[in-house]
Structure 1
């Protein structure tokens, strides 16, 4: 894939788009191409995560194996997988398997962080976006908490003996 194509792909990723074209160009230069055959595992739940992946083509299935009550999530072209690993050390919360032949861009955490150091304005934009997303998550959790509390206050029907 040509560098300009990689940059165009990264621009389609909402969380990366805010960084700007020049920053994304540097990220694209530092990214590594990874190809998977259908059925091949990209990573397993619980593994240390030191990078994120952007799906170039193909489909990646994300399965929560340990807490298998969650449905499988499909990630297609332009999807960012493992974004938290770009900024902090975490473990993979799911297993990722190629549903068909797939190509991905691997963005190592150290490359991402070094790039942000060189582009402080881009880092500020990313920080603002992440702060907004965190505020939205906190607000949603407050709504869920309120609903759960309301359920607890509801009269309970007697159970048959």
Structure 2
């Protein structure tokens, strides 16, 4: 894949869409490409995660013994797996297994943080966007709480 096509794939993700072109270019340039064959395990539920994966092509099956609603879901091209792990240490909530030949961009947390450090405007944009998402989430929780209490 070319640098420009990697940038295009990344910019389709909301978290990367908040970044300035220079920060996005750094991530696209420094990310790693990983190729999987059918049956290859990308990661297992409970494993530590140190970054995210953008599916460039192929399909990744997700399975979780803890979240039955996730079991059987398949993530395809353009999906970001592990968004939270780009920002904070976390563990994988699911097991991810390639269903077909797949290509992924692997973005480490340290790379993502470096891009934000080198682009304070991008960091500020991302902070505002995440703040709005958190506010929306809290508002939805409050709506649900009121619905259960009524």
1:87 matched to 2:84? The reply is: no
1:108 matched to 2:108? The reply is: yes
**How far apart, in 2, do the equivalents of 1:41 and 1:13 lie?**
23
**How far apart, in 1, do the equivalents of 2:69 and 2:106 lie?**
29
Shift in CA distance, 3/70, structure 1 to aligned 2, threshold 3 Å: closer
**How far apart, in 2, do the equivalents of 1:61 and 1:22 lie?**
33
Query: Structure 1 length normalisation: TM-score?
Result: 0.88
Match of 1:48 in 2: 48
**How far apart, in 2, do the equivalents of 1:78 and 1:118 lie?**
26
Contact residue 11 and residue 21 of structure 1 kept, 8 A: no
Q: Which runs of 5+ in 2 are unaligned?
A: none
1:74: Cα distance to partner?
A: 2.2
Where in structure 2 are the equivalents of 1:12-161 lying within 5 Å?
12-150=12-150
Query: Structure 2 length normalisation: TM-score?
Result: 0.94
1:45: Cα distance to partner?
A: 0.7
**How far apart, in 2, do the equivalents of 1:55 and 1:10 lie?**
10
1:64: Cα distance to partner?
A: 1.7
Match of 1:154 in 2: none
1:2: Cα distance to partner?
A: 1.0
Task: Flag the structure with more relative contact order, 1 or 2, with Cα contacts below 8 A and sequence separation at least 6.
Answer: 2
Shift in CA distance, 69/121, structure 1 to aligned 2, threshold 3 Å: closer
**How far apart, in 2, do the equivalents of 1:136 and 1:72 lie?**
28
Q: Which runs of 5+ in 1 are unaligned?
A: 151-161
Summarize deviations over 1:28-79 as a string: whole Å, max 9, x none: 1110001111121111111101010001001112222234354433221111
Match of 1:7 in 2: 7
